[in-house]
Amino acid sequence: MQDHPSSVKSDAKPHRSLFERLTALISPEPENRAELLEVLHDAHERNLIDADALSMIEGVFQVSDLAVRDIMVPRSQMDTIDISKPIETWMPEVLATSHSRFPAVDGERDKVVGILLAKDLLRYYAEESFDVRDMLRPAIFIPESKRLNVLLRDFRANRNHMAVVVDEYGGVAGLITIEDVLEQIVGDIEDEYDFDEAEDNVLALKDGPHGARWRVKALTEIEQFNEEVGSRFSDDDADTIGGLVANHVGRVPRKGDEFDIDGLHFEVLRADARQVHVLLVSQLPPAPASDE
């Protein structure tokens, strides 16, 4: 005699429901992002996922929290070409920097008229009549407040690799590339033209509500950090600023961690399970004067 379908269904349902309840008691599901990250860190500690996988997952979360202003190349650090000048005047800079793309300005930095691909300059040596303006690709302008996950989606959809960042008044604030965004997920992407130059360790950003801000590589030596920022941290217990903040919190800092040290506010922009990589440092408001 065959079992009635309904009896089979009724027999299976209590068993499945009991299993789900037991699973929830043993390992409750995370209810928010913080709890999910705790589960992932626990999985890493039990060797269920490696450090690189954990770092990339954290990077995906971080991309949705960061805005363009947090990782852009500031205006003062931008490498541009001025097409109002003869090619011979700025060609040496193109060769020296070895970038694949350059914002093209017409006389002043706020007047970005397009993007020049370095490979298009090959025609300069092959064609008698070469007009650099004909070689320019359209420039994409985005606000400082744009979220990185939205920007990455736009980059992919429109097949763009570079965008010019503008402030609320329409002035050029900086520059960002698709590589800058991807590095927040997978870490630094180095090519044969990348150099670990000390002057790139501390980048001045647009001032925050309480004063100056800097994006700092964690491997920056404390001595250089002090010179750039004007701080007076000791290098007796750590050589780098990343080591200093790790000593302060007593563990490897995680992405999103924030803490104050001697008048400066530190926020971890990028880190993995082994070390911190990039920090956002900003000045704190001055302490209120004592009544005494």
Are 170 and 216 within one domain? no
Q: Are residues 78 and 94 in the same domain?
A: yes
Residue 50 CB-half CA count within 13 A:
1
Residues 229 and 122 in one domain: no
Q: What is the mean pLDDT of the chain?
A: 80
Please give the Cα distance from 285 to 211 (Å, whole number).
8
The number of domains in the chain is: 2
Q: Which of 193, 216, 240 is the last residue of a domain?
A: 193
Residue 31 covered by a domain = no
CATH of the domain at 216: 3.30.465.10
Between 13-27, 42-56, 270-284, the lowest mean confidence (pLDDT) is in 13-27
User: Same structural domain for residues 219 and 240?
Assistant: yes
Supply the CATH number for residue 147's domain: 3.10.580.10
The range of the structural domain enclosing residue 73 comes to: 67-193
In the predicted model, what is the mean pLDDT of residues 32-44? 77
- What mean pLDDT do residues 105-125 have? 88
Three-state DSSP state, 277: strand
Residue 75 zone, left/alpha/beta (φ > 0; ψ -120 to 50; rest)? alpha
Contact by Cβ (8 Å): 51, 273 = yes
The lowest-confidence range among 9-23, 89-103, 244-258, 259-273 is: 9-23
Q: At what angle do helices 33-45 and 51-65 cross, to 10 degrees?
A: 170
The tokens of 185 are what?
Answer: 């997920």
Identify whether the C-beta of residue 59 lies closer than 8 Å to the C-beta of residue 185: yes
Judgement on whether residues 159 and 116 belong to the same structural domain of the protein = yes
- Percent of the chain residues topping a pLDDT of 90: 28
DSSP code of residue 82? E
Evaluated on CA atoms 226, 285, 267, 160, the torsion sign reads negative
On whether both 204 and 188 belong to a single domain, the answer is: no
| Highest averaged pLDDT of the listed ranges 50-59, 88-97, 113-122 | 113-122
Residues 148 and 204 in one domain: no
Q: What are phi and psi of 280, to 5 degrees?
A: -105, 120
- On whether the CB atoms of residues 180 and 151 are closer than 8 A, the answer is no
pLDDT digits (tens, 9 = 90+) for 132-180: 888 899 999 999 999 998 999 999 888 888 999 998 888 999 999 998 8
Q: Are residues 237 and 174 in the same domain?
A: no
- Of the residues 193, 220, 239, the one at which a domain ends: 193
Strand pairing report for 141-143 and 112-117 = unpaired
Question: Does residue 187 share a domain with residue 74?
Answer: yes
pTM above 0.75, yes or no: no
Is there a single domain that holds both residue 72 and residue 126? yes
